[in-house]
């Protein structure tokens, strides 16, 4: 690390801003000592004592400042809470970068090294955040949060930026520093205002645990209930952010995080729901009937693509829609090619929005389509996916993780109903690199702009993953929402299809994906290189892939 520091183009000063008030002496000393142990040398610690009533606390702050010239202190004459104190500490800062640290937390000794390394490799960076974990009163660490790369929709759901958060100093000053009255979510609010001034590509993630967040009775690390005002401030920060951007949306705290509801236009767009099928009357009728009976969104049509049905009961059922105002049936007797069937139907769809729906889907939540459409019409959004349950109420689809099992698999697959998943990610709106086409909604113009599903190379498998990745190539992001819930009557215990010709096709399609998307499959930006590719449960990977990736970059 010291050799790497010597090779850096520059060694920017990092000013650590630390507000303090009646800090417990042992924790404050540990916090400061963790800064003094930093391998990266060019830092300063800017402490603002917010008129502590504890003489012991004030004396320790003064003692620490006297012991090290790199520690600066201001003693505020009156208590102003964390935002005002942070601004006072900010006034002491002379560095090009600002790092935020609480007075009872601990930095890993290589924290600032990895931040400086990121800055050196990415001169256009303006906001940087890292992974984090928790440390209890005895110094025992737990609950590491291995984060994704910048994920706007997850950030709206909870403050994934958090610790260790580092900001360009000129950007912080440009937005006016911390806002008074935002205590509890003052750092979330600061990031929201900063990100409004920069490009998303300037927000970078260091996938290493650089910050240890103290768990105690009064900390939000111990429980969000410790600071109920933080949820209120978070709602306010998000809603004022949307107001500044002119986005018709409203955030509300749900307990697991925040939910953002985007408004539909006064005249919601027509949605064309496309359902390929061959026979399977029981599933098809259940799917169509549930859509017609339980969907609150009114402006939609259903297009059933009949791929060569020969069952008389199924044909009679399809014939019953001949005069329907909501349901059309298109016959296509070609060899089964899921991609081609959908592409053909999209070309004939009347809607500005298309929904790809498997014939074994059953609607649960009446607002499923309203939720998905409200997301799909937002600027920059490509495909939108839903939360799909097996009939036994275990999760079938919570977004798609690239690389799991080789190509891709479903996030949190198999978790029980009520389980919130890894850091509540099974219950939060967020971006994923891909979502399943078993229930996928997208603007028709965006579907057509990338020539739809790949019917030449991916007739059956992974066409939805490839579709989503090509949307990302076009600059769109794909969103998964837990607020559109449906059953997927796919068998949870179904084995692989062993027919030789189908097996050969599957191998060809796997190899195509591995060749086409090699880099993304190895390092999904919506996942973490610290997490496993062997399972869907967000388990820790050993050895961590981040070491392999970082070593390759450094060499």
Longest dimension (CA), the chain: 89
Distance CA 349, CA 400 (A): 27
Check whether 18 has a pLDDT greater than 60.
yes
pLDDT value of position 225: 53
Average pLDDT over residues 307-329: 96
* Burial class of residue 270 (count of CB atoms within 10 Å of its CB; 0-12, 13-18, 19+): middle
User: Mean pLDDT lowest for which of 111-120, 135-144, 161-170, 227-236?
Assistant: 227-236
Distance CA 548, CA 541 (A): 12
pLDDT value of position 221: 54
Distance CA 206, CA 128 (A): 7
Per-residue pLDDT tens over the stretch 224-268 = 455 678 899 999 999 999 999 999 999 999 998 999 999 999 999
Distance CA 169, CA 83 (A): 16
pLDDT value of position 495: 47
Distance CA 159, CA 76 (A): 28
DSSP 460-486: SSSHHHHHHHHHHHTT-EEEEEEEEEE
How do 97-100 and 165-168 pair as beta strands?
antiparallel
3-state secondary structure of 272: strand
3-state secondary structure of 490: coil
pLDDT value of position 141: 96
Give the whole-number percent of the chain exceeding pLDDT 90.
91
3-state secondary structure of 45: strand
Average pLDDT over residues 129-147: 96
Look at the chain and count its residues: 555
pLDDT value of position 186: 97
* Burial class of residue 535 (count of CB atoms within 10 Å of its CB; 0-12, 13-18, 19+): middle
How do 97-100 and 14-20 pair as beta strands?
parallel
Per-residue pLDDT tens over the stretch 491-535 = 654 445 667 888 999 999 999 999 999 999 999 999 999 999 999
Distance CA 547, CA 554 (A): 10
Reported pTM: 0.95
Torsion angle in degrees (nearest 10) through CA of 498, 499, 504, 507: -30
Distance CA 127, CA 169 (A): 10
pLDDT value of position 494: 44
Q: Which residue has the higher pLDDT, 218 or 222?
A: 218
The half-sphere exposure of 258 on its side-chain side, counting CA atoms within 13 A, is 28
pLDDT value of position 30: 96
Check whether 554 has a pLDDT greater than 70.
no
pLDDT value of position 341: 98
User: Mean pLDDT lowest for which of 24-38, 207-221, 444-458, 494-508?
Assistant: 494-508
Q: Residue 68 has what DSSP assignment? A: -
Q: Residue 403 has what DSSP assignment? A: T
Average pLDDT over residues 139-148: 96
Average pLDDT over residues 373-388: 98
Average pLDDT over all residues of the chain: 94
Give the whole-number percent of the chain exceeding pLDDT 70.
95
Distance CA 289, CA 274 (A): 14
């Amino acid at each position: 690390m010291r050799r790497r520091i010597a090779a850096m183009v520059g060694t920017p000063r990092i000013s650590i801003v630390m507000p303090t008030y009646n800090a417990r002496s042992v924790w404050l000393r540990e916090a400061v000592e963790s800064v003094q142990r930093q391998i990266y040398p060019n830092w300063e610690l800017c402490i603002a004592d917010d008129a502590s009533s504890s003489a012991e606390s004030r004396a320790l702050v003064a003692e620490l400042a006297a012991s090290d010239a790199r520690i600066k202190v201001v003693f505020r004459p009156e208590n102003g809470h964390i935002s005002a104190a942070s601004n006072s500490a900010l006034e002491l800062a002379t560095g090009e970068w600002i790092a935020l640290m609480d007075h009872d937390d601990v930095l890993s000794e290589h924290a600032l090294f990895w931040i400086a390394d990121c800055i050196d490799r990415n001169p256009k960076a303006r906001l940087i955040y890292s992974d984090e974990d928790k440390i209890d009163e005895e110094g025992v660490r737990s609950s590491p949060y291995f984060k994704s790369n910048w994920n706007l929709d997850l950030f709206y759901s909870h403050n994934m930026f958090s610790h260790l958060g580092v900001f360009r100093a000129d950007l912080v000053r440009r937005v006016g520093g911390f806002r008074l009255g935002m205590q509890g979510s003052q750092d979330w609010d600061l990031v929201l205002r900063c990100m409004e001034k920069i490009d998303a590509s300037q927000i970078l993630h260091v996938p290493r645990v650089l910050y240890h967040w103290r768990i105690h009775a009064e900390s939000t690390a111990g429980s969000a209930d410790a600071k109920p005002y933080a949820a209120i401030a978070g709602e306010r920060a998000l809603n004022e952010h949307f107001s500044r951007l002119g986005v018709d949306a409203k955030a509300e705290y749900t307990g697991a995080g925040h939910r953002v509801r985007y408004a539909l236009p006064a005249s919601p767009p027509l949605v064309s729901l496309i359902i390929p099928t061959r026979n399977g009357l029981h599933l098809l009728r259940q799917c169509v009937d549930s859509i017609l009976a339980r969907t609150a969104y009114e402006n939609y049509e259903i297009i059933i693509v009949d791929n060569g049905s020969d069952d008389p009961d199924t044909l009679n059922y399809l014939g019953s829609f001949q005069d329907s105002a909501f349901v059309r049936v298109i016959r296509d007797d070609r060899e089964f090619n899921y991609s081609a069937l959908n592409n053909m139907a999209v070309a004939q769809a009347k809607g500005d929005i298309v929904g790809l729906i498997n014939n074994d889907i059953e609607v649960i939540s009446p607002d499923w389509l309203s939720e998905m459409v409200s997301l799909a019409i937002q600027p920059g959004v490509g495909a939108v996916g839903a939360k799909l349950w097996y009939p036994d109420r275990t999760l079938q689809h919570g977004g798609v993780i690239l690389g799991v099992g080789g190509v891709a698999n479903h996030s949190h697959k198999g978790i029980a109903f009520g389980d919130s998943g890894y850091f509540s990610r099974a219950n939060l709106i967020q971006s994923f690199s891909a979502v399943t086409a078993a229930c996928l909604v997208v603007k028709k113009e965006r579907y057509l702009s990338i020539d739809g599903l790949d019917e030449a190379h991916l007739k059956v498998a992974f066409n939805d993953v490839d579709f989503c990745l090509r949307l990302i190539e076009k600059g769109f992001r794909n969103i998964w929402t837990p607020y559109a819930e449906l059953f997927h009557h796919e068998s949870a215990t179904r084995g692989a299809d062993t027919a030789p010709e189908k097996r050969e096709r599957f191998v060809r399609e796997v190899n195509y994906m591995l060749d086409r998307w090699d880099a993304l499959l190895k390092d999904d930006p919506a996942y973490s290189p610290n997490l496993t590719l062997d399972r869907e449960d967000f388990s820790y990977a050993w050895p961590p892939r981040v070491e392999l990736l970082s070593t390759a970059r450094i060499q």
